[in-house]
Amino acid sequence: MKTKIFILSTLFFFLTIVFGFAQAEETLPYEVKLMLRKGLVKEVEKEAEKMAAAGKDYMANLTFGELALLKGDVRVAAIHFRKVMDLNPAGIEGKIGMAKVYAAEGDIKKAMLLLEEAKKVSPYKVRLYYEMGRLYEVYKEEKKAAWAYEQALERFFRGR
Q: Does the pTM exceed 0.85?
A: no
pLDDT in tens, 59-103: 999 999 999 999 999 999 999 999 999 999 888 899 999 999 999
More confident of the two residues 108 and 28? 108
pLDDT-above-70 percentage for the chain: 86
CB-CB contact of 112 with 141 (8 Å): no
CB-CB contact of 159 with 19 (8 Å): no
Tell how far CA 60 is from the center of its chain: 15
Whether the predicted pLDDT of 25 surpasses 50: no
Tell me how far apart the alpha carbons of residues 145 and 8 are, in angstroms, rounded to a whole number: 9
- Domain chopping of the chain, boundaries: 27-89, 108-159
Q: Please, which pLDDT band fits residue 11 given cuts at 50, 70 and 90? A: low
Who contacts 76 (Cβ-Cβ below 8 Å, separation ≥6)?
Answer: 64, 65, 68
